[in-house]
Amino acid sequence: MTDAARDLISKAMVDAGDPVEFAAYAPSNIALSKYWGKRDRSRNLPLNSSLSISLAEWGSHTEVAPSESGIDQVSLNGEVLDMGTAFASKALKFADLFRAGRAQPLKITTRNTIPTAAGLASSASGFAALTRALCGSFSLSLSEAEMSLIARLGSGSATRSIWHGFVRWDKGRAEDGSDSFATPLDVTWPDFRIAIIPVDVGPKSHSSRDGMNHTVDTSPLFAAWPDQAEADCDFIEAMVREQNFTALGQRAEANALAMHATMQAARPAITYLTQDSWAILERLWAARKNGLEAYATMDAGANVKLIFEAQSQDDVTTLFPEAQVIVPFAG
């Protein structure tokens, strides 16, 4: 079966020159309406659309250059990696989509600016930055939408990290994935804020990929998720466009809790949220009863992320002194 992303790369590479040094950046992102469940596992084609906010200067700087030593070299955060590490092998496997067997040894250098304590996955920004850097290094004439489509082969959430701000990844319907890529929303919301409340920086119990597939395969409650998630995504997009914070926040929190509910019902259960995550949620809900306008969202890990507006920032950081605040529209 044809694959739209691989086809795009192959066609563009016909006219490509030798790789040159090229540096790119991509922000991490947090989904307000979650991606959870694939209709095609090899292409990372999702069962539902999703919508995220990018994390501005928290992301991945990646440089691709010809390797003067004649052999591939991958480094991460200043350290040259052994080729057997997961990061190096994934990065080179992704680069191979472009090289397609050509003898073009590469030096791939990545530096993540996401604070370690934030415990955020870097695969979204990592594959988005690597896509941008590879396209630049081979001087390919690809649009950002096309780069989003290609980044999907690395990680589903990387589709959204091609852009800053609010980004929607439409699930698409085509079997070859040609219509499954992200596009940015033309909305600037300077007062929008995100805070990461770190809970646990230890290794996850399950990768998000495994957790997602196990949920789809075994959770009796999953059947209702794709339609509800699609409706949530449409509603949240509309609320972003209206800048209706309360409606957006309520729905984003409900969407995240529903996603975790699908996992909790998996057999055996997957519980990324720990007692410490629930303690943060209880503290948030108690404060919300007293007027705080902040809502929670949680991904495949124990951390809790809050969304709120600028006027609530002091209250949020008083309630959660450990909060790390991000201003997505600072620029």
Residue nearer to a copy of itself on the CB measure, 189 or 225: 225
Nearest one of 167, 155, 162, 160 to 208, comparing CA atoms: 155
The one among 71, 261, 286, 310 contacting a copy of itself by CB under 8 A = 261
Contact 36, 262 (CB under 8 A): yes
Cα gap 257→261, rounded to integer Å: 6
- How far does CA 205 lie from the centroid of its chain? 19
Listed ranges 163-171, 180-188, 233-241, 262-270: which one lies at the site for a copy of itself (CB under 8 A): 262-270
Run of H or E including 168: strand 166-169
Listed ranges 33-41, 142-150, 158-166, 254-262: which one lies at the site for a copy of itself (CB under 8 A): 254-262
Run of H or E including 170: none
Residue nearer to a copy of itself on the CB measure, 67 or 228: 228
The one among 145, 254, 325, 327 contacting a copy of itself by CB under 8 A = 254
Residue nearer to a copy of itself on the CB measure, 11 or 267: 267
Given CA atoms 40, 45, 47, 52 in this order, what sign does their dihedral have? Answer: positive
- How far does CA 98 lie from the centroid of its chain? 22
Cα gap 187→166, rounded to integer Å: 7
Cα gap 174→60, rounded to integer Å: 30
DSSP string, 50-83: EEEEEEEEEEEEEEEEE-TTSS-EEEETTEEPPT
Listed ranges 40-48, 59-67, 88-96, 261-269: which one lies at the site for a copy of itself (CB under 8 A): 261-269
Residue nearer to a copy of itself on the CB measure, 179 or 227: 227
In whole angstroms, how close is the CB of 215 to a copy of itself at the nearest point?
A: 11
Residue 230 interacting with a copy of itself (CB under 8 A): no
Whether cis (ω within 30° of 0) applies to the bond prior to 328 is no
The one among 278, 325, 327, 329 contacting a copy of itself by CB under 8 A = 278
Contact 17, 102 (CB under 8 A): no
Contact 62, 50 (CB under 8 A): no
Listed ranges 58-66, 169-177, 270-278, 314-322: which one lies at the site for a copy of itself (CB under 8 A): 270-278
Residue 279 interacting with a copy of itself (CB under 8 A): yes
Residue 264 interacting with a copy of itself (CB under 8 A): yes
Cα gap 120→329, rounded to integer Å: 20
Residue 258 interacting with a copy of itself (CB under 8 A): yes
Encoding tokens for residue 199? Answer: 């809970």
Cα gap 145→180, rounded to integer Å: 10
Residue 282 interacting with a copy of itself (CB under 8 A): yes
Contact 273, 297 (CB under 8 A): no
Listed ranges 2-10, 119-127, 196-204, 264-272: which one lies at the site for a copy of itself (CB under 8 A): 264-272
Site for a copy of itself in 153-172 (CB under 8 A): none
In whole angstroms, how close is the CB of 202 to a copy of itself at the nearest point?
A: 13
Residues binding a copy of itself: number (CB under 8 A):
30
Site for a copy of itself in 38-77 (CB under 8 A): none
In whole angstroms, how close is the CB of 218 to a copy of itself at the nearest point?
A: 9
- Chain positions contacting a copy of itself, by CB under 8 A: 220-225, 227-228, 250, 253-254, 257-258, 260-262, 264-265, 267-269, 271, 273-276, 278-279, 281-282
